[in-house]
A and B are shown apart, each in its own frame.
Chain A
Amino acid sequence: NAGVTQTPKFRVLKTGQSMTLLCAQDMNHEYMYWYRQDPGMGLRLIHYSVGEGTTAKGEVPDGYNVSRLKKQNFLLGLESAAPSQTSVYFCASSYPRTFGGTEAFFGQGTRLTVV
């Protein structure tokens, strides 16, 4: 049982380049999330999805796009990377709508540096 898997783990981009971060979960979770973690800022929600084919903006969505074509995968795209997008990105998933719901399960993170 792999849980939540993110690829890649590390990446260095030049300003203006594009890339896609892949998140895959094998727990049949409905909800998936992309967060970014910056020093002193905790985890901030970029985009989220409540089911296959649906996505929505979170707290800091600018400069990012997402897609959820399959229930198990949630992709985060950077069309034109900027130094301000240097961060650690975490994907997570959960199944919140049963009574009490489940906690979020996290991937191992992707450390992205934009130079």
Chain B
Amino acid sequence: ILNVEQSPQSLHVQEGDSTNFTCSFPSSNFYALHWYRWETAKSPEALFVMTLNGDEKKKGRISATLNTKEGYSYLYIKGSQPEDSATYLCAFCSGGSYIPTFGRGTSLIVHP
């Protein structure tokens, strides 16, 4: 079982705050790292697929970075809005199986 850790487990911020989360994964046999956004009562939806060390991806106010050598990825949200409230999941795919192994997620609540 691959060890994929996310921190913090939950986060409460005020509207307009910027925030970031961490995903740690095995540094060997890397294939891809995914970030998903999961709103309550909905299905997870992909934000980013990251494959190369040093990758930086951006979608609106959300961005992510990747360090495969040390085994971590950061997700940043700039100027959080209440609609950003969701659980953010990362998933690690190894080169052996390609199967996404998910972390437990970071629950973000943005207060107006």
Residues on A lying within 8 angstroms of B by beta carbon are 31, 33, 35, 40-45, 48, 58-59, 90, 92, 94, 96-97, 99-109
Contacts and interface: CB of A to CB of B under 8 A. Distances in A.
A46 to B, nearest CB: 12
A31 B98 contact: yes
Interface string B21-39: 0000000000110101000
B1 to A, nearest CB: 6
Interface in B65-112: 89, 91, 93, 98-105
Given A101-B31, A104-B91, A45 B46 contact: no
Contacts of A41: 104
Most buried by B among A43, A45, A102, A108: A43
Contacts of A103: 34, 36, 46, 49
A45 B32 contact: no
A10 to B, nearest CB: 12
Contacts of A58: 99
A101 B33 CA distance: 10
B102 A101 contact: no
A100 B23 CA distance: 19
A59 B104 contact: no
B93 A33 contact: no
A59 B102 CA distance: 11
A45 B99 contact: yes
Contacts of A42: 89, 102-105
B63 interface: no
Contacts of B36: 103-104
B98 A101 contact: yes
B104 A40 contact: yes
B98 A97 contact: yes
A104 B100 contact: yes
